């Protein structure tokens, strides 16, 4: 059985906009859906979820081989087990935070929300009403309620929209940890590069109702937690990649992430936080300065660096030729607990 969400749509939404696309999304990790405003990102999520009525449109959706829509049969939205988080939290204002979470859990064991409460740090909020929550707190509760329902896939439609930079920086690590620990595949609509760098394993690009391409995960390194200082984790860059990755690179970073000893962490590095130089830059304010090798000067997706055996794409590299040594100054990282996909 294909571990994908396959779809084909021709949906006329107005005289000037038609969603006309087809593809397959891997049901592993987080797939970001990105594109300009009005490109059809939210329309795609709603079509996949079966939320909008259609007349004369074409829609085919298959989830892990099961027909959700089309000639193979129809599965109503409530039976698709989608955890949907919208741009607004839409919490039940007559309920406490805990009651909102338990409403999501419904018939599941009463302990089902314990891990979610821990991952999202919701324990102090449980007895409170939702009217007094900050924007960031309300988003955490909305995500917790969606996860409490034990979904088989998450649809997140710009869940951090409207938050200022400080609130977004506060919520993003919690979101990354909760989604990572739940090990539920997710489609995440956003145009924010920091959210993509932190969360995305790949990006589906949409423009004018059509798929314009796919983009690999942004530059990131896999590290293992080898200690703690205060609330931060001390992470050591692993050598190799995938299941063969192991400690031993010797390069360590202090990272603001909630992660346990021995846990793997993905360190996303935004493009503006990665400096590449031929010579060692000497003492500077970087979190770390790492040696790397140019594995591909001009690969199909652009230049590729080898950092302790981890191959990562970058926008540009110095003209030193393949195999040439360079130095990476990492100025900032966006951490996310790494999923264990070995069972996928």
- Domains, the chain, in order of start with CATH, read 4-215 (3.40.50.300), 219-336 (no CATH)
Average pLDDT over residues 110-137: 91
User: CA 84 from chain center: how many Å?
Assistant: 14
Does position 12 have pLDDT exceeding 50, yes or no? yes
Q: Can you give the pTM of this predicted structure?
A: 0.82
> Rounded CA gap, 38 and 22, in Å?
18
Does position 107 have pLDDT exceeding 80, yes or no? no
Q: What is the pLDDT of residue 301?
A: 64
User: CA 95 from chain center: how many Å?
Assistant: 29
Q: What is the pLDDT of residue 126?
A: 96
Does position 119 have pLDDT exceeding 50, yes or no? yes
Q: What is the pLDDT of residue 343?
A: 41
Residue with tokens 């590095």: 269
Please provide the DSSP assignment of 211-261 as one string.
Answer: EEEEEEPPSEEEEEEEEEETTEEEEEEPBSSGGG-BS----EEEE-----T
pLDDT tens profile 147-203: 999 999 999 999 999 899 888 888 988 898 888 888 899 999 998 988 998 899 899
């Amino acid at each position: 059985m294909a571990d994908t969400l396959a779809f084909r749509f021709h949906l006329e939404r107005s005289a000037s906009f038609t969603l006309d696309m087809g593809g397959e999304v891997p049901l592993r990790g987080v797939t970001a859906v990105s594109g300009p405003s009005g490109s059809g990102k939210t329309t795609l999520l709603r079509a996949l979820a079966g939320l909008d009525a259609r007349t004369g449109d074409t829609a085919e959706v298959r989830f892990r081989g099961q027909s959700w829509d089309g000639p193979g049969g129809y599965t109503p939205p409530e039976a698709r087990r989608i955890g949907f988080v919208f741009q607004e939290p839409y919490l039940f204002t007559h309920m406490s935070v805990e009651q909102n979470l338990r409403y999501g859990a419904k018939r599941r064991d009463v302990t089902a929300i314990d891990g979610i409460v821990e991952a999202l740090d919701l324990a102090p909020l449980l007895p409170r009403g939702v009217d007094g929550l900050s924007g960031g707190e309300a988003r955490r509760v909305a995500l917790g309620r969606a996860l409490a329902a034990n979904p088989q896939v998450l649809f997140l439609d710009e869940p951090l929209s409207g938050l200022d930079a400080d609130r977004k920086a506060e919520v993003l690590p919690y979101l990354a940890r909760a989604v990572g620990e739940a090990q539920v595949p997710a489609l995440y609509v956003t145009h924010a590069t920091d959210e993509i760098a932190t969360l995305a394993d790949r990006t589906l690009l949409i423009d004018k109702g059509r798929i314009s391409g796919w983009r690999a995960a942004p530059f990131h390194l896999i590290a293992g937690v080898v200690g703690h200082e205060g609330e931060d984790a001390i992470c050591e860059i692993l050598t190799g990649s995938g299941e063969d990755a192991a400690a031993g690179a010797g390069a360590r970073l202090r990272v603001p992430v909630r992660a346990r000893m021995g846990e793997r962490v993905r360190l996303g590095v935004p493009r503006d936080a990665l400096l590449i130089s031929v010579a060692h830059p000497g003492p500077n304010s970087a979190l770390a300065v790492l040696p790397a090798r140019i594995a591909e000067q001009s690969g199909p997706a652009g230049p590729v660096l080898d950092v302790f055996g981890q191959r990562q794409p970058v926008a540009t590299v110095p003209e030193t030729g393949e195999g040439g040594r360079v130095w990476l100054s990492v100025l900032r990282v966006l951490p996310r607990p790494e999923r264990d996909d070995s069972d996928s």
